[in-house]
Each structure stands twice: as structure tokens, then as C-alpha cells.
Amino acid sequence: MSRSRTLPTSNRRRKTLLAGAALVAVVGLSACNEAPGAAAYVGDTHISTEQVQDDGAEVIAAAGPASQTPLDGAEVNRRQVNRLVTQRLVEIAAERRGVTVSDSEVDALITQAVGTGTRAEFETQLAAAQLVPPSEIDTFARTVALNQKLAAKIAPGADEAATNAALVKELGALSEEIGTGVSPRFGTWVPSDLTVGLPPDDLSTPVPVVTPDQQVTTGSVQTD
């Protein structure tokens, strides 16, 4: 994060919110579940390529003031798939375990994360640091809050490492149970740590990205 705003007891909240995007769970799309325009699916829920590209374009526009170097369009889109798929998995896991989050809890989490800065500043920081589009911050914060409560349910009293391992295990098992996948254009599922790797080397078709000036370009695939 390029700038840091803090309030007493709020720094950890900010770190938690920014770290929330790290948990992802997606696998390669199978022919039976692939839908026209689908970037990914989670059970019966399909995530459209249009949504991924729109969110990616919003991130690129919002992160500009805080980005040291131009963002790579393909990586931004891949991270949108990560976020959207994980969001749905967390929602399903929370519903199964009877975990809920109120609007006031979401508002409190965002307020603590914003700290003494402004909402606009925080939107820029979150877009640059975790590639979350400003229009999705409330939903993202809700997912983070659900994830926190899930952790307490799944591994009560466990330390951070054990809690993370338990969450990865639960979300990974859920993704396999209900069927979860991502188009190969966006990446490759790595089940051991719930991450989306780069697309296969032999996949040369780039994903269109709308840049801040609304010009349509293509994002290049880079190696880690």
C-alpha cells in the first residue's frame, strides 16, 4: 500500500481487509459447465467474462494515482476471477455453517480500515494493493467479515497458521464438491494452496482489457 492511515486498534483491521483477497479457489472449466461468455463458475453460479473485464478496467482506472508502474491487464483480470470465485465459495461455506454478517458490521470494518483518511483514498489504495474495484469494496468487506467468522467456526482458538490451513482445506473441499472452475484463458487451478496460476504456456489468446481511456487493448500473459 502506498500510503498508510491508522487509528488506534484499526491497523490490524486494515491489514485483514487488504489480505482478504488472498484466499482463492478455482479449477479449470469443464465442457459440461462452461457457458457462453463465462470466465468461471462456482456450482450453478457463472461469472461472466464481461464482469471480469469491467471490474478489471475499473481497477486500472482507480489504481492509477497509487501505482508505481502500469498494471498488467491480464494479471488484473486473473485477480478479478480469483476474487469473484472466492467470494462465492465463502458465501456458500458461511451459509452452510449458519454464519451471517450484518450491514453494520460491514460498515464498521470499512470505517476502521479507512482510518483517518477518506473513502476515496482508501479506494485507490485497495485498488492498487489488492486490485479490488471501488464499486465492490462493500461486497469485498462483507466477504472478509464472513471469512473471519468462518475461521472462528472452523478452527476456534487456533493460531493464525492453523486457521488459514483449516480455511484452505474447507474451501478447497467445497469447491470440489459443488464444482468450481475457471476458463483456461484466465489461469490454472493449483489446489494445494487455493491459487490460480498463470494460463498454460500453449494458450496464446489474450484477454481483452478496457484501459482507463476506454481503448480496447489486449493483456499479455507474463511468467511469474
Q: Could you tell me if residue 5 is inside a domain? A: no
One digit per residue, the tens of pLDDT, for the chain of length 224 reads: 444 444 444 555 555 555 554 443 322 333 335 455 688 988 899 999 999 999 999 999 999 877 778 899 999 999 999 899 989 999 999 999 999 999 999 999 999 999 999 999 999 999 999 999 999 999 999 999 999 999 999 999 999 999 999 999 999 999 889 988 888 899 876 666 777 778 776 444 444 433 333 322 223 223 33
- The residues near 133 (Cβ < 8 Å, ≥ 6 apart) are 55, 56, 58, 59, 62, 80, 127
- For helices 49-63 and 73-96, the axis angle rounded to 10 degrees is 120
- The number of folded domains in the chain is 1
CATH of the domain at 202: 1.10.4030
Q: Is residue 30 part of a domain?
A: yes
Q: Is residue 163 part of a domain?
A: yes
Between CA 224 and CA 70 the distance in angstroms is 17
The residues pairing with 208 across neighbouring beta strands, listed in sequence order, are: 218
Q: What is the CA radius of gyration of the chain?
A: 17
Domain that holds residue 44: 11-219
> Is 0.85 topped by the overall pTM?
no
